[in-house]
Amino acid sequence: MTLPLIFDLDLPQLTQQLKDWGQPAYRAKQVWQGLYQNLWAKPQDFSNLPKDLRDNLAENFAFTHLEEAQRLYSKDGQTTKVLFRLPDSQYIETVLMRYEDRRTLCISSQAGCAMGCVFCATGQMGFRRNLSSGEILEQVLVFARQLAEDGERPTNVVLMGMGEPFHNYDATLEAIDRLGDPDGFNMGARRFTISTVGLLPAIRRFTAEKRQVGLAISLHAATDELRSSMLPINDRYPIKDLIRACQEYTEATGRRVTFEWALILDQNDSPEEADRLVKLLHGLNCHVNIIPLNPTQGYAGQRSTRESVAAFKQILDNAGISCTVRVRRGIDIQAGCGQLAERADGGLLQVN
């Protein structure tokens, strides 16, 4: 039987559990700081606790749900991808990307994904299950321990790994809140970005909460016909409604929204499509992240040429729309955007 994961507890729950064991309240704070500040990974590490409490923790809680099954390093040494096996034999992948002044983690919120985006390996894999809040945040802590060995720590976390974060809304935001606790890991909300295909009820809930967490929208097309052929969710939440929700978000929070656009050869990379995007985003406080398509086994589309990428960006630049072309990282180990859930040999990850 799998024990409950200790990272699934918030501080009040942890305090109540220790109180039930007859422990004083300050012990919970010691455990909390051990987990999130000292990054201790097992009960035996908590040398500031009495032995009976360490034994109780070991007998009643798991201190990890992530078993490393595979670790891959990109040829340039800047990207690391880890395949984790969960206790129920599901799998997720997590990526560390090193930049000059940043250490960015791309983490997963689900095993698989139900959204079915045609060019995404995770969508091709299908939905397995939601991750718990503890399983989401533990991905950050695993890499935080490793970075700490070099005197570093994660600077940014993007929920752009496997899964649709807003399809697992409560657990995703609980994980972010727990990692943001000033008495714990103390990672500011602005250091997180959530990427969604556009689940409108969740976007509106997120807007109402006026969080400082970044919001990114997987857009990829400026017309409903094209977008629906790529992202089936568009049939339910069409572009017009999605853009209106984004306007509400920017007005309520004062923050800009990022739109992700995977450039696919002869699909959405034409000057005409760029012009449509300019009209669609006119007057909206936003940034466009242009992403030359990364290859996946289950999709035949090809990435745009360098000339098409440059021309597409130039049209947005000329219209005064903030945009950048994403630096491609980890493509050789299938760690790029849309590639997670693939094996090192290029085949789809098989989960029994």
- 286 or 348, which is more confident? 286
338 within a domain of the structure (yes/no): no
Are 250 and 278 within one domain?
Answer: yes
Q: Is 60 exceeded by the pLDDT of residue 334?
A: no
Are 46 and 90 within one domain?
Answer: no
Are 145 and 17 within one domain?
Answer: no
Which pLDDT tens digit goes with each residue over 227-246?
999 999 999 999 999 999 99
- 297 or 77, which is more confident? 77
Q: Is 80 exceeded by the pLDDT of residue 226?
A: yes
Say which CATH number the domain at 52 has.
1.10.150.530
352 within a domain of the structure (yes/no): no
Are 36 and 73 within one domain?
Answer: no
Helix, strand, coil tally for the chain in percent (to 5): 40, 20, 40
Are 290 and 164 within one domain?
Answer: yes
Which pLDDT tens digit goes with each residue over 54-68?
999 999 999 999 999
223 within a domain of the structure (yes/no): yes
State the catalytic residues.
93, 337
Are 155 and 201 within one domain?
Answer: yes
Domain count, the chain: 2
Question: What CA–CA distance (Å, rounded) separates 215 from 56?
Answer: 40
Domain that residue 283 falls in:
67-333
Question: What CA–CA distance (Å, rounded) separates 205 from 11?
Answer: 24
Eight-state DSSP code of residue 86: -
Least confident segment among 115-129, 166-180, 320-334: 320-334
Which pLDDT tens digit goes with each residue over 146-203?
999 999 999 999 999 999 999 999 999 999 999 999 999 999 999 999 999 999 999 9
219 within a domain of the structure (yes/no): yes
348 within a domain of the structure (yes/no): no
Residue 83 belongs to what H/E stretch? strand 79-85
Say which CATH number the domain at 102 has.
3.20.20.70
Q: Is 60 exceeded by the pLDDT of residue 80?
A: yes
Are 35 and 147 within one domain?
Answer: no
Query: What percentage of the chain carries pLDDT values higher than 70?
Result: 91
